[in-house]
Amino acid sequence: MRNHRVLSKASVAIALAIGMLASSPLLPFSAASYPPPSLFVTTNTTLTQDLNESIVVGASNLTLDCAFHIVTYHGGKIGILVESLTNVTIRDCRALGFETGYALVSSTGIVLVGDVAAHSLTDGFLVTASGNSLIQDNATANGGNGFTVSVGNVLAFDAAWGNGVDGFHVNADNAVNESVAAGNGNNGFTLAGFRNVLAGDAAVGNTRDGFDLASGNRLEGSTADRNGNDGISVVSASEATLVANTANGNRRIGFYFSSSHKNTVTSNAACGNGIVDAFQDNTSSGNVFVNNVFCTMSGIDPPPPVSPPASPSPLPPRPSPSWLCAAAAWPRTPGATARAPS
């Protein structure tokens, strides 16, 4: 490991309210002392051994490569902290046993690639800033959410396994692509804010819903199978778009709509769910269902039958030769002499 300075009393503006994270995962940070020991990184760094201390990234424009080494310190608050920085890449780290595995605070242009957060007391990955990317990261067996993400970030090819609350809890304007949430204690994916776009994701075997959508979100090409409650739940939400998703084998309902309005549901499929495959209650209105395949459904009008195309109007009969002859013989102008065709 390259040369670094260990801070004995590093002061960082961060504190987590453990008991409130589940209900309000994006609480603001307040001033608190960051507990020692802490490794303070200010240049490009590659670890050569496991660490029994947390890491604070203290400068922009650098790469921290843990080279698959474990970073652990029982009783430490944040495994790896990035605050008020830009253009930092953190890759192949294994943060185990902290209060929170990774925290990105007031920072942009941060890229986390191939990192793991496991056995944190609260969240595995906590992102309270915008413009960051989390790629191929893994959150496993954390006490809170696997990933808690604020506004305007990109997540791709991530995985959340066996976390205590949600696999992914995202606020607004985020993109989450090709990611998996399995066996989490609440929902696989909770879309708590607006204008999130999810594509190609999978929610399997979570305790409650696979996907829980708020207003204005888009869910496309995703799968919700064998979850303990509903596959895809749209409650008190409007103007969401669901396209080409599947929900099979969930304990209750595949696609659930309650107090939801003006949502567009196109080319989805559901079968083999415990109660019914698609359900809309009488407090919902204006939802549009087009080209879906639901083996069973309730409260949703069946699609109108496809009418055969209208037959074209018949052509007038073709004139007979005698009619042609008569027409040719009819005088065209008064006094004209008609001559039958020879």
Report long-range pairs for 338-341 (Cβ below 8 Å, ≥24 apart). none
pLDDT digits (tens, 9 = 90+) for 128-146: 999 999 999 999 999 999 9
pLDDT digits (tens, 9 = 90+) for 82-115: 999 999 999 999 999 999 999 999 999 999 999 9
Q: Which amino acid is at 246?
A: T
pLDDT digits (tens, 9 = 90+) for 138-193: 999 999 999 999 999 999 999 999 999 999 999 999 999 999 999 999 999 999 99
pLDDT digits (tens, 9 = 90+) for 40-85: 999 999 999 999 999 999 999 999 999 999 999 766 689 999 999 9
pLDDT at 306 over 70: no
| Residues in CB range of 255: below 8 A, 6 or more apart | 230, 231, 232, 234, 242, 247, 265, 268, 270, 277, 278, 279, 294
Q: What is the signed CA dihedral for 162, 165, 168, 174, rounded to 10 degrees?
A: -170
Q: CA–CA distance from 250 to each of 114, 119, 224, 241, 285 (Å)? A: 31, 28, 8, 21, 24
Q: What percentage of the chain carries pLDDT values higher than 70?
A: 77
Region of 146 (left: φ > 0; alpha: ψ -120 to 50; beta: rest) is alpha
Arithmetic mean of pLDDT over the chain: 83
SS (H, E, C) 47-102: CCCCECCEEEECCCCEEEECCCCEEECCCCCEEEEEECCEEEEEECCEEECCCEEE
In sequence order, the β-bridge partners of residue 285 are 261
How would residue 327 be classed by pLDDT, with cut points 50, 70 and 90?
very low
| pTM, full prediction | 0.80
State CA 316 to chain mean position distance. 59
Terminal-residue alpha carbon distance, the chain: 110
Q: Which of 204, 298, 212, 293 is nearest to 251 (CA)?
A: 204
Say what the pLDDT of residue 38 is: 80
The answer to whether 118 and 141 are in contact (CB under 8 A) is yes
Say what the pLDDT of residue 74 is: 66
Residue 271 in 3-state DSSP? strand
The answer to whether 14 and 105 are in contact (CB under 8 A) is yes
